[in-house]
Structure 1
Amino acid sequence: MDKATRPGSVLIGHVIGSVIQSVASITLMGGVAVGMASPNADTATNNAMPLIVLPLISSAFVPIEAMPGWFQPIAQYQPFTPAIEPLPGLLLGSVIGHNGWLAIAWCLALTALGYLWSASTFNLDPK
């Protein structure tokens, strides 16, 4: 077995990729776009609070099946759950399903949305 097909190298690559994608999308959405749309620094930090809470309402701490029925769709269809779900599969060497692709799609969509929002806000800013 060569180094490229070892489960450990796949896990490390996935973790590094997820971290880079998450940092890029959260930075553009939470840091730049929300900050530029806010009138002052205090408002900017408060407006970014939902992005801080998102990992807490994902499957990071509690399995989705153990959550109340009304809360399961919220936890299942938010950006952090597809990024978290493949990690146990990669650690155990099992199938990760479509969650890896969903995580990439979420990160790319949030990055594009954050870029477009911050660029449009910057173009409206009088100098």
Structure 2
Amino acid sequence: MTALSLAVTDSATMLRRQLRHMLRYPSLTVQLIGMPVIFLLLFVYVFGGTLGAGLGGAAGAGGGGRDEYLAYVTPGILLMTVGLCATGTAVAVAMDMTAGIVARFRTMAISRSSVLTGHVLGSMVQMVLAVAVLLGVAVAIGFRPDATPLEWLAALGMLVLISLALTWLSVALGAQSKSVESASNAPMPLTLLPFLGSGFVPTDSMPDWLRWFADYQPFTPVIETLRGLLLGTEIGHNGALAVAWCAGGTVACFLWARRLYERAPVR
């Protein structure tokens, strides 16, 4: 068996391990799926009437109000969903690092990268489930994207790219954390950055100093790309920036996570 086929086989085994954990302990998965839905309903029905009235044509729909805000905010909450799923990955990696299971894996004839890859693939499964549920709820309450099948495919690809980058970052944070508690807090900025971008309000409504950060942080081009694909708004250079951020982040975080996993003492 070649090294590549061994890595693929072992990664599939580790993925099955993660899926069994999800089935045996469903509370974390339910929380990761439920929180974005709660945020969506909160922002649409509590804040949507006021915030939507101030959007103008930013959402790509006319009228202003709650329906327009639903169209505007859904891409931002999609990205928040990916961030929440990545947070769960950091916790799972930290549990493996602190519970001694990694020491056992290191004595076995398995691909070293498969342990981390299994965590990443398991997180991707959670992300797909969470995104599907969120989109289902959004459509049920009035979200009406006008994307073509090709644009839907591109939007899904964008979500996969950002999910890979954030998940490998969370794997690294989990491997670096000294406890499960610290691992659960380390990725929290991932769920807050959409608030400091164009996820919930247009950046031109912000003070100049905050607008500069909001325009140039990584999440804003991803959100604008998703919004353009789903709603037909202008994407401009955001698509290229989003792909560059995701590709660079994935490679850098993968190398960081692998180095931490190889060098970290088993606690």
TM-score, normalisation: structure 2: 0.42
Distance 1:29 1:106 in 2: 13
What is the aligned partner in structure 2 of residue 74 from structure 1? 213
Taking structure 1 as reference, are residues 119 and 91 closer, same or farther at Cα in structure 2, changes over 3 Å only? closer
More RCO (CA 8 Å, sep 6+): 1
The partner residue of 1:38 within 161, 177, 188 is: 177
Distance 1:15 1:92 in 2: 11
After superposition, give the CA deviation of every residue in 1:79-123 in whole Å (9 maximum; x if it has no partner): 111011134433454642111111111111111121011111112
Distance 2:168 2:249 in 1: 8
Distance 1:33 1:41 in 2: 13
The partner residue of 1:18 within 141, 147, 158 is: 158
Three-state SS of the structure 1 residue aligned to 2:208 is: coil
- Consecutive unaligned residues of structure 1, counting only runs of 5 or more, are 1-6
How big is the shift at 1:29?
A: 0.4
On the 8 A contact 1:60/1:81 being kept in 2, the answer is yes
Three-state SS of the structure 2 residue aligned to 1:59 is: coil
**2:249 aligned with 1:116, yes or no?**
no
Give aligned-pair identity as a percent. 41
How well do the aligned residues superpose, as a CA RMSD in angstroms? 1.9
**2:200 aligned with 1:61, yes or no?**
yes
What is the aligned partner in structure 2 of residue 86 from structure 1? 225
On the 8 A contact 1:83/1:103 being kept in 2, the answer is yes
Rg larger for: 2
On the 8 A contact 2:155/2:230 being kept in 1, the answer is no
Distance 2:202 2:208 in 1: 12
- Consecutive unaligned residues of structure 2, counting only runs of 5 or more, are 1-146
Number of residue pairs matched by the alignment: 121
- Answer 1 or 2: which has greater helix percent: 2
